[in-house]
Amino acid sequence: MKSWFLDEKLATNCLKTLEGIEDWKIFERNNSLMYEYYDWEQHADLREVYNQLHSQKTIKNLEEETSLEGLLFDPMGVGEGISKMTKGCKLDPHIDFNWNNRVKLNRSLSLTVYLGDCKGGEFQIWDEKRENVVWSHVPSHNTTVLFKNNEVAPHGVKEITSGTRYAIRKFYYQSNSTPIEDPHQSLYWYDGEKAYNPQKKMPTNS
């Protein structure tokens, strides 16, 4: 999926905020280089972006877009954050983590919001043998990329040749947990003995 995502004013404010941040942490792994920032809660405009990404409306829209049901998010944002890529930065093809051990959920979906403009920096998805690019997106200000997690199609970012590319990352999860032995609705008692809805089956979560 590739589309305009944020309100134009919010996107502009977020970009100004990111341009003013100085304490970026360097990320180097194998042949990759970029800069990371995780303290987004300190900034009202960045908090607003994450609030939108966590909203019921957004999750419903994502489920309709992807046909994935029961999407969840990690309130602690393990692995999430904001990246900054300038001239010479790149991200070699890789497979994302598929399990969040803190919340015990399977990663299903990744959403990236791009801010700023650059040359180079194309987001690319490769075939299983890493021989051919099967999909590519040229980042531009206030566009998004949405892709399902998988184990066979690596993705990466081509080298930036000029400008600055910011990316806000958000992950969504699904659970394959089984219910407890005796799942049921909420049970309400009139007098401590007679329950209002003592059903063994669970047609709703009311």
Nearest to 53 by CA among 25, 92, 14, 17: 14
Q: Cα–Cα distance between 7 and 30 in angstroms, integer? A: 36
- CA–CA separation, 2 and 146 (whole Å): 7
Q: Is residue 98, in this structure, part of any structural domain at all? A: yes
The CA distance from 139 to 147, in Å, is 15
Other CB atoms within 10 A of residue 9 CB? 9
Is 70 exceeded by the pLDDT of residue 195?
no
Q: Rounded to whole angstroms, how far apart are CA atoms 124 and 142?
A: 18
Residue 76 lies in a domain: yes
CB 164 within 8 A of CB 176: no
In a domain, 28, yes or no: yes
Q: Please choose, from the candidates 159, 21, 1, the residue with its C-alpha nearest in 3D space to the C-alpha of residue 82.
A: 21
Region 176-204: what's the mean pLDDT? 66
Domain count, the chain: 1
Does residue 200 have a pLDDT over 60? Answer: no
Domain with 40 in it: what CATH number? 2.60.120.620
pTM above 0.95, yes or no: no
Residue 122 CA to residue 137 CA, distance in Å, equals 6
Instruction: Please report, rounded to a whole number, the percentage of residues in the chain having pLDDT higher than 70.
Output: 87
Residue 162 has pLDDT above 70, yes or no: yes
Q: Is residue 197 part of a domain?
A: no
Check pLDDT > 90 for residue 198.
no
Amino acid sitting at position 125: I
Q: Does any domain span residue 164?
A: yes
d(CA 172, CA 140): 23
- Mean pLDDT of all residues in 159-166: 98
Residue 115 lies in a domain: yes
Judged against a pLDDT cut of 70, whether residue 7 lies above it is answered with: yes
71-98 pLDDT per residue, tens: 999 999 999 999 999 999 999 999 999 9
Mean pLDDT of 120-128: 96
Helices (H), the chain: 8-20, 44-54, 56-66
pLDDT for 2: 46
Q: How much is the mean pLDDT over the chain?
A: 90
33-77 tens-digit pLDDT: 999 999 999 999 999 999 999 999 999 999 999 999 999 999 999
Classify residue 30: in a domain, yes or no: yes
> Which phi and psi (to 5°) does residue 162 adopt?
-165, 160
Q: Is the pLDDT of residue 199 over 60?
A: no
Q: What is the DSSP letter of 106?
A: E
Q: Please indicate, yes or no, if residue 187 is contained in any of the structural domains.
A: no
Instruction: Give the pLDDT confidence score for residue 5 in this predicted structure.
Output: 79
Share of the chain above pLDDT 90, in %: 81
Domain hosting residue 117, numbered range? 8-174
